[in-house]
Amino acid sequence: MSDSFYTGGEGRYFATDLAVSPWNPKHQNGVAIAALAAHLIETSPTLAPMMLARMTLDIARPTPIGAFDAVCSVTREGRRMQNLDVVFSAAGEITARVSALRVRTASSPVSEDVLDYPSPDDTPPNPLARRDPRRAGLETRVLHGGLTKIGPGSGWARPALDILPGVPASPLVAAAMAADLGSGLSSIFPHAVWSFANIDLAIHFVRAPVSTWIFVDAATSSAGDGSALVNTVLADERGPFARAHQTLFVEPIRIASASPREAQTA
Amino acid sequence: MSSAFYRRIAAARFQPLQPATGSWNRSHQNGVAVAGLLAQAIDGAPTRSPMKVARFTLDIMRPVPFAPVDVDMVPVRDGARMQLIDARIMADGEIVARASAMRVRMDSTPSVEEAPPAYPGPAAAPVNPVTSVLSTGHPMETKVVAGSIREPGPGAFWATFNADVIEGEPMCPLARAAMASDVGSAPSSIVERGKWSFANVDLSLYLTRLPVGPWVLVDAVTTSGGSGVGLVNSTLADEQGVFGRAHQTLFLAPIETAS
């Protein structure tokens, strides 16, 4: 049995150290938060067959490793559309808030995005980060770009952990996790000089993904005034199925232990 | 014709005026007006340090009645580095529309901008409205530079506004971007006109900066996986270049024809 990001249920959860953020070991990774939010949405009932059309995750504060609450509630019920919120909180404060829109499914004309990319089998293993994929939450195969290359990037990602004990990541959960890789794949910042954590993650779906292997094709841009925007296309083995965006909070990396002279040359 | 979409009748209470009338149902407000009102409300909410809106997400949960509405602001997180704030339209004590905005403190950081779109600017573009109702003098003026509402396929248009959102209060750049974006579905339809309806049920904007100047370009492509749901993907630009993206979820349904 795989290890999981979380244990718990019914609104009360515990983040294991597999959910740790690369930016701060006391905080949860956005990949894990997105995974749990997608799982709670997906397992929440609807009045008619529906698909998730949009999921918008806002990080208000870091969510701590350890105990926290995550509650999914319907803000507007309906047979044609449903709005949901998932609220994460710890120590009485909201740490993350997801707003989601689900829409009834029906038959309609197809008009899909086109994207040219190799299958996961034709993409050599090439991890995004040197960490063990179990600690990163995802197994990754970078096709181009990455943390040390400035410019657009792409690659395949697949969950390496369960969400909860005995609950593997579904294709929808895998998509939410993979979407969070857009910023790392497409960095425009000199490595180890700038910090660019994402403070939100939004995914717009045209259909549900059909596999847990998710292709991420991302590009970052910025007007140079303190934030950056990642624009991402998500695809599976059938083709593109979603667009995703992240707002990045951009600031210099503080090297706390360096002398002022070392900090200048870092 | 009124030169505004709304009149402020109390600190947070607004009377819709003629330009806010729904296109499909005159007892409702239209989405462009609602987007503008909530964008103006967010723009007017104070922040603890100078900030700009990086993301704006609008859900219209119920038709907004063509009647006075209250707007209330709920800060979810009001920090010095970022602010997450909701603006809600209430009608009969129920939330009928909610916009949430992520605002980020401004600082000097590396810039990498996208290439500008290859369309003529608004001055060079011929007068070619998106629809017959959006002609010169109407509160929203448009010039199509690619595609049309009469044919399926992508479309692009410049939009400017000849009216305040709130009477007597200048239109803020966020409202200009949101209101123009809300029309993205019109010229980028993928379905046969008259056979399918495609109401947009939400609006999301992702911005590297706010637009500068009176004109906004919306370059829209609609896609669908065939599940009764469409997605409009728009690139937003002003006369200086690209400043963001917008998306709308579309409810695709066959139009029932009378027998």
pLDDT in tens, A131-150: 776 667 999 999 999 888 99
According to DSSP, residue A213 is labeled: -
| This prediction's pTM | 0.94
Chain B residues lying within 8 Å of A106, measured CB to CB? 227-228, 252-253
Residue in chain B lying closest to A207 (CA): B225
Residues from chain B that touch A245, judged by Cβ atoms under 8 A, are: 55, 206, 245
Compute the distance between CA of residue B82 and CA of residue A170 in angstroms, rounded to an integer: 32
Nearest CA among A167, A32, A145, A182 for reference residue A96: A32
pLDDT score of A262 = 39
- Would you call B231 and A106 a contact, using CB atoms and an 8 Å cutoff? no
A195-214 pLDDT tens trace = 999 999 999 999 999 999 99
Q: Write out B48-111 in H/E/C secondary structure.
A: CCCEEEEEEEEEECCCCECCCEEEEEEEEEECCCEEEEEEEEEECCEEEEEEEEEEEECCCCCC
Spans of chain B below 70 pLDDT: 1-2, 131-137, 257-259
Interchain CB contacts (distance < 8 Å): A and B: 197
Shortest CA gap A161–chain B (Å):
29
pLDDT digits (tens, 9 = 90+) for A86-103: 999 999 999 999 999 999
| Chain B interface test: which of A227, A229, A243, A249 (most B C-beta within 10 Å) | A227
- Residue A2: pLDDT band (50, 70, 90) is low
Structure tokens at A252: 């210099």
Structure tokens at A78: 């309906």
pLDDT at A263: 36
Using one digit for the tens of pLDDT, what is the confidence trace for B135-164?
A: 455 788 889 998 877 777 888 999 999 999
Considering only CB atoms, B201 lies closest to which of A101, A204, A241, namely A101
In Å, how far is B22's CA from the nearest CA of chain A? 20
Q: Does B193 touch chain A (CB under 8 A)?
A: no
How far is B138 from chain A, CA to nearest CA, in Å? Answer: 32
pLDDT band at A264 (very low <50, low <70, confident <90, very high): very low
Q: Which residues of A touch B58 (CB under 8 A)?
A: none
